[in-house]
Amino acid sequence: MAIDDLGADVPLREPASRVVSLVPSLTEAIVATAPALLVGATDWCTHPADLDVARVRGTKNPDLAAIRGLAPDLVVANMEENRELDVRRLRDAGVPVWVTRIETVDQALASMSRLLSEALGVADPHWLVSARALWSEPVARRLSVAVPIWRDPWMVVGSATYTDDLLRRAGLANVLSGRDGRYPTVTPDEVDGAGADVVLLPDEPYVFTADDGPEAFTTPTRLVPGRLLTWYGPAMVEAHALLANLQP
């Protein structure tokens, strides 16, 4: 019997050999580590680009019947990305589910290491060893940033989020982390008035582009891959290369 990040029992007598992932970043992590184990993933699991497994719809509306039909011995989920209702229904149907909880860089590194070792029976892969070394120590503050994630209404990254901690450890102060909520609603004027050196515009969950987003701000903007701001897993290595050297 194993225990997931939320303290729930996961009935595994031996390492899982058929895994369905409901989390894009965990899908990428599993494929980069033990690809033969993955038999299903969501439609939003876009990395690697050539991923060839059964698709089980979205993170918020997974096809539970399709998941059961794949006969997995483990489903991996995340507290923020997946609904507790779907987790409960899978467990009620006898499908073991491992739920991760990741709100900081340290949690990401520890959670993935434990999932891989305790649930899948594999040692820390090279990408995880590299990510742990790269993110081992926060660096001094050197830039202030704001990170919108949606428009109409405008929403930004707030505190108690993985992205906020990732930015901080890269020396990027999130000027809107003091707002109420993890993803507070703001106006473009409030973003401009917060004092950021640069506004980072990711391409997910909202797809900001050169023609959709920068025009809303007087603060300088920069388009960045959303995957590198929100995905834990192999993306953490690429994220360090981007964020540690980010300039306005």
Token pair of 241, please?
A: 């290369």
d(CA 35, CA 51): 9
Are residues 224 and 128 located together in one domain of the fold? no
Distance spanning both ends of the chain, measured CA to CA: 49
Note the pLDDT tens digit of each residue in 170-215: 999 999 999 999 999 999 999 999 999 999 999 999 999 999 999 9
The parent domain of residue 149 ranges over 143-243
Residue 248 lies in a domain: no
Domain count, the chain: 2
Distances (CA, A) of 13 to 116, 121, 234: 15, 11, 28
Residue 138 lies in a domain: no
What CATH number should be reported for the domain holding residue 193?
Answer: 3.40.50.1980
Average pLDDT, consecutive stretches of 10 residues, N- to C-terminus, the chain (248 residues): 95 96 98 98 96 97 98 97 98 98 97 98 98 93 97 97 97 95 97 98 97 98 97 96 89
Predicted pLDDT of residue 72: 98
Amino acid at 51: L
Predicted pLDDT of residue 138: 84
d(CA 60, CA 163): 20
Predicted pLDDT of residue 245: 87
pTM above 0.75, yes or no: yes
Predicted pLDDT of residue 248: 77
